Amino acid sequence: MERKNYTPNDNRNVIRMLSVRYAGSTKGRNRILFLAVVLSVVTLTMVFGITRGKIRAEEMRTIRTAGTAASGTVEKGSTSQYTRLKSLSYIEQAGRCMTVGPAEPAKTDTVQENTEKSVCTIKWVDTDAWEKLICPAYTKIYGSYPEKEQEIMLSEKVLVAFGIRNPQKGMEIQLTVSYGLFQTSDETFILSGWFADHGIENAPGYISEKKLADWGIRSKEEADLIFRQSDRLGWQETETRLYEDLQMRNQEQKITVSDTAVHQAVEGIMGGYEIAVLGTVIVLCGIFFLCHNVLQISMAGDIRQLGLLNTIGATQKQVSKIYSHQILQILVPGTATGAALSAVLLARIIPTVLSSEYLRKIGGGEGLRIFHPVILLLAIFFTDGIVLAASAGVIRRTVKMSCAESIRYTEVSAGKRPGSRYQQKRNSVFGKKKRSPAGEIRYLAGRNIAGYRKRFIMTVLSLFLGLETFIWAVVITSGSDYEHVIEKRPDFLIAGQFSAWGRERGYGEEYQTRDAGQDPMLTEGSFFALLYDNEYDEFSPISSDVRKKLMGIDGLNLEESYIMEGAYLDTVISRKGIKPLNESSAGDKEDQEMLEGWSEDVVQILGDDEIELLTKYVNDKDLAVDMESFASGTGVLILHDHALSKGQEQFAQESVGEPVYFETLRSRADQIWWSSMTDTERMEQGEEGNFQTRQSEEFSLCGYLDNQADDFPDIRQTWHGSEGNLYFLISEQGFEKIPTEKKTLYMELEIDREKESAVNAEIQKIISEENQRRSLMTETSYDRGSGEAGIFCISKSDLMSEAASYIQGNRMILGSISVVLLLAGFTNYFNIMVTGFLTRKRELSVMESVGMTERQKRKLIIAEGSYYCLFTAGLLLTMGMAVLIPVRYYMEQRLSYFVFSWPIWEVMILIGGLIVINHVNAWVICRMRKAKK
C-alpha cells in the first residue's frame, strides 16, 4: 500500500541493510546499464559530432577554394535594395563589393623584373562583407583592412609575385591599376595587411572606399551586393524569392545565386536536410531503446526488491531515494566516462585526420572545431533523461502496488501465458506428443518468448531500428562516395587549350582546383582569349590528324566514346534576337536591325540522341522553344549558363523566330598577311581588312535554354561560361548550310581497363608530339611566337590518384559513423539479452534444481536468442529493404553521382553478428551463473 511521509516504526537500519543487499543483487544489471550509458553518450556525441565536423570541413574547403563565403550577387544594387536585402529573414549576411579592375606592377617597380603582367584584381568591400563573407575564405590574416586612401591589403601569393616573402606592414607597393573605361593609374600603395589564400587564382587586392572616391567611383551606386542566404534554402528558391522581394532597377538587373557551402556539404553527405532529420530521429530512437530496455527488462526484479522495503514500512520518499541513489551511482560515472571518451576522440583524433586529409592543401584545420560542448551536453541530457524517466516508472509502479502485489510481481500474468490454451486443446484432441530433447529446448524457449511478449516486441524493434540505421548509413555513405564523382568522368577528356595569352590570365585552367564533379569546360575566359592568334577558319582545337591517331589506338571503346564537332564563327543576329543578352539594345525600337558580334562564337553540332533529350525536356517544361525548326535544320538554339534575369527571360521568349546567320573567319593565309602588316598598311586596308569570308544561309532563332535549370539534360559542351560569348547549338542538317568544315572541339575516350596503361601512354605520346609541333609553327605566331594553341588531356586515373587521400579520409570519417552505429546496435542486443536472463535467476535456479545441465541451459539461452535473431533478420530482409527504395529515389534525385547498391553483404554480416553475439551471450550468462555458485 502507499505510504508518503509516515513511518510507523524506526526501520532506518533495516532499510539501509536491505538497500546495500539490493545494490549487491543488481551488480550485473548495473554494469550493463553503465555500459549502456557510456555507449549512448559516446554514440550520440560521435555520430552528431563527426557529422557536424565533416560538414564544417567541407564548408571550409568550399569557401577557401572559392575565395568567398558569399553565395549570391545582386548586380549594381542600389542603397534601397541593400537595406531591403539585409532585412530579409532568409538572408544571413550581406555586404557591398566593387570590382575595380586588374592591377600589374608599375613600370618603375624593380622588385622583381619577371613579374607576370597581371598579378591581381583590385576590389573594395564594405566592413560587413569583409568580416562575414571574405575573411572566412582566408587564413593567417595579419594587419587590418585598408582605411586610408593609399592603403592596400594583398595575399601572400601576390606578394611573392613581387619577390616579397617577408612582408612588413607599411611597406610600399607600386601598381598600375586599370579602372573604368580604358583608364589606368600608377599608384604607390602602403601595405596595411596580408593574408593566405587557397584558390587557383590570386586573391584580389583590397583597397579603401576613399581610394574609390579618388578615382571617381561611387560605391553606393555601382557596387554589387553580395550575400549568403540561409543554409536550408537552395539556390533556386532563394533566387525566386529575391526577385519577388527586391524591386529591380530595370529588367536587365540580374541576381545570381548558388547553394551555400553548408548546403552543398549536407547534400554531398546526406542528400539533403530531410534525410538528415529522419536519420536523427532514427538514431535517437535507437539510443532511447538502448537505455530504456535495460531498465524495463529488469523492472520486475526491481519492483519485487523495492516491495520488500515497502513491507517493512518504507515511505515513498525512502523508496525513491534508495532507487534513485542506485541509478545515480551508475549515471554519474557512466556519463563522465562517455564524456571523456567523446572529448578525446572529437577534440584530438578526428580533427587531426580531417586536417591532414581534407584541409591540408587549403590552409589546414585552422578554425575547425569537431568537438562541440553543446552536442555533448545534449547527448548527456538525452541519455540521462531516458534512464531517469524509466527509473521513475519503476518507482511509480512500486508505490501504487500493495506489498503483496509488489513482492509477487512478474511481467507475465498468472494463467494467461500465451499458447497455454492452444496447447491444452492440442493435447486433448491429439494426446500429448513426445518431443525430442532438442525439441523440448525449443519448446521451452518459445514459451519463454511468448510469456514476455512485450519485452520481445520492444527488443526486436530496438534491434531493427539500430541495425537499420547502420544499413542506411552504409547505403548513403557508400553511394555518395567521392569515388563515384570521379567515376562519372570519362576515362580521358581531350580538348583544345586556351591561347598562351589566355592561359597567362588563368583561363582554361580553372578545372585544376575545382571539384571533379563540376564541368571542367566551364571558364571565365572569353572566346577572344581562347582563339587569340588562332582566329582563322582552318583552326581546329583537335586536328583531324590527331583525332585519327587517337581513334586508332588499340584498346579504345569506340561505341562509348564521344566526339563533339562544330566550328567557331562570326555571328550576325537581329537586335531583338540578341536583346536578352545585350543591355544596350533593350530600349532600341529598331528590333529588325542586324548586329554583328564583336568576337567569335561557338556553334556546336548535336546528335539525334541529344536532340531527342532536349525535345523531351522542352516539352516536359512547356518552354517557348521551337524544337521542330531546330531538328529540321532551319533553326538554332542559344545555350547559356543561367545568364538571364527575370526580365531578360521575357525578352528570350519574344526572340523566338528572329533571323540569325553566320560568317566564316578569315582564312589562315589572310590572317598571317593581316598580322604581318604595319599599322599604316592596316589603316589603308580598313579596320578589318578586305578579306573574303563566306556566309551561311539564314536561320531562325529557336529560343534560349538555361543549362543550369532543373532537370536539364546532360548535354556536353566545349569551353563555355564567359559572359559576352554566344553558344549556339545546331543540328547536323543545319550545319550543312554553313560553308565551313566541321572541327573537332572536344573528345571523351572510353577504354578497356585491361589496356589502360598502354592506352594512357599512347595518348600522352600523341598529345606531346602534337603540342611540340604546334609550338614550332612560328609562321602563325603573329606577335607572341607561341604558335597554335595546344591540346590537353584530363585522365580519370590521374584524378583518382590526386583524390586518393581525400577519398581515404572521407571513407574513414563517414565509416566511423557506421562503426559507431553498428557497435551500438550489437551492444544493445547483448545488453538486453544478458539483462533479461539476469532478471530470471529464479527460473534458471528452478530448472537447475530439476536436473537441467549446463549444456542444456546454454542451448536454451541460444534458442531464445535465435528467436530474436530470426525476427530481426526477417524485418531487415523485408521492411528494412523496402524502406531503402524511397531512400534510393531521394538520393538519386539530389546527387547525380549517387550509386545505389543493395546492402546484401552488410545484412548478412549483421545477421552473422547477431548469431555470434547470441552464442557469446549464452557463454557469458553461464559463466556468470557458475561464478556466483
Q: Give me the pLDDT at residue 928, please.
A: 64
Across 123-139, b (16+ Cβ under 10 Å) vs e yields bbbbebbbebbbebbbb
| 476 vs 448, higher pLDDT | 476
Report how far apart, in Å, the C-alpha atoms of 173 and of each of 149, 153, 168, 432 are.
14, 10, 11, 103
Q: Given pLDDT bands bounded at 50, 70 and 90, which one contains residue 783? A: very low
Q: How far apart are the first and last CA of the chain?
A: 35
Q: Given pLDDT bands bounded at 50, 70 and 90, which one contains residue 2? A: very low
Q: Give me the pLDDT at residue 840, please.
A: 62
Q: Given pLDDT bands bounded at 50, 70 and 90, which one contains residue 227? A: very high
Closest residue by Cα to residue 144 from 157, 130, 132, 156 = 130
Average pLDDT over residues 902-925: 84
Q: Given pLDDT bands bounded at 50, 70 and 90, which one contains residue 415? A: very low
Q: Give me the pLDDT at residue 661, please.
A: 94
Q: Average pLDDT of the chain?
A: 80
Q: Which residues contact 16 (CB under 8 A, 6 or more apart)?
A: none
Q: Give me the pLDDT at residue 143, please.
A: 93
SS (H, E, C) 8-23: CCCCHHHHHHHHHHHH
Average pLDDT over residues 608-635: 93
Closest residue by Cα to residue 856 from 437, 451, 450, 446 = 437
| 274 vs 880, higher pLDDT | 880
| 591 vs 111, higher pLDDT | 591
Query: Residue 146: how many CB atoms within 10 A of its CB?
Result: 24
Closest residue by Cα to residue 636 from 702, 713, 570, 581 = 702
Q: Given pLDDT bands bounded at 50, 70 and 90, which one contains residue 750? A: very high
Report how far apart, in Å, the C-alpha atoms of 764 and of each of 362, 563, 601, 687 are.
30, 18, 29, 42
Assess whether pLDDT exceeds 70 at residue 692: yes
Q: Give me the pLDDT at residue 152, please.
A: 94
pLDDT tens for 869-900 read 888 899 989 998 998 898 888 888 877 788 88
Query: Checking phi first, is residue 659 left (phi over 0); if not, alpha (psi -120 to 50) or beta?
Result: beta
Across 451-477, b (16+ Cβ under 10 Å) vs e yields bbeebbebbbbbbbbbbbbbbbbbbbb
Range of weakest confidence among 166-170, 179-183, 447-451:
447-451
Assess whether pLDDT exceeds 70 at residue 20: no
Quote the CA–CA distance of 493 and 639 in Å, as a whole number: 22
Q: Give me the pLDDT at residue 782, please.
A: 46
Q: Given pLDDT bands bounded at 50, 70 and 90, which one contains residue 787? A: low
Q: Give me the pLDDT at residue 702, please.
A: 95
pLDDT > 70: percent of the chain: 78
Q: Give me the pLDDT at residue 1, please.
A: 41
Closest residue by Cα to residue 207 from 83, 103, 63, 93 = 103
Q: Give me the pLDDT at residue 407, please.
A: 58
Q: Give me the pLDDT at residue 112, please.
A: 44
| 921 vs 231, higher pLDDT | 231
| DSSP 8-state code for residue 721 | -
Q: Give me the pLDDT at residue 592, please.
A: 65
SS (H, E, C) 690-714: CCCCCECCCEEEEEEEECCCCCCCC
Bridge partners of residue 720, in order along the sequence: 522
Q: Give me the pLDDT at residue 245, please.
A: 92
Range of weakest confidence among 68-82, 357-371, 731-745, 896-910:
357-371
Q: Which residues contact 237 (CB under 8 A, 6 or more apart)?
A: none
Average pLDDT over residues 903-920: 86
Report how far apart, in Å, the C-alpha atoms of 608 and of each of 615, 618, 698 are.
10, 15, 22
Cell of 166: 617577408
Assess whether pLDDT exceeds 50 at residue 360: yes
Residues in the chain: 933
Average pLDDT over residues 192-207: 87
Average pLDDT over residues 676-684: 70
Assess whether pLDDT exceeds 80 at residue 817: no
pLDDT tens for 94-152 read 999 999 988 888 765 444 444 446 788 899 999 999 999 999 999 889 999 999 999 99
Assess whether pLDDT exceeds 90 at residue 619: yes
Quote the CA–CA distance of 620 and 677 in Å, as a whole number: 55
| 450 vs 741, higher pLDDT | 741
Average pLDDT over residues 854-862: 78
Compute and round to an integer the Cα radius of gyration of the chain: 37
Evaluated on CA atoms 810, 811, 813, 814, the torsion sign reads: positive
Quote the CA–CA distance of 539 and 535 in Å, as a whole number: 7
- Three-state secondary structure call for residue 827: helix
Contact 540, 824 (CB under 8 A): no
Paired sense of beta strands 727-731 and 601-606, if any: parallel
Contact 178, 184 (CB under 8 A): yes
Average pLDDT over residues 399-414: 58
Assess whether pLDDT exceeds 50 at residue 419: no
Q: What angle do CA 870, 871, 872 make, to 5 degrees?
A: 95
Quote the CA–CA distance of 891 and 78 in Å, as a whole number: 40
Q: Given pLDDT bands bounded at 50, 70 and 90, which one contains residue 428? A: very low
SS (H, E, C) 230-296: CCCCCHHHHHHHHHHHCCCCCCCCCEEECCCHHHHHHHHHHCCHHHHHHHHHHHHHHHHHHHHHHHH
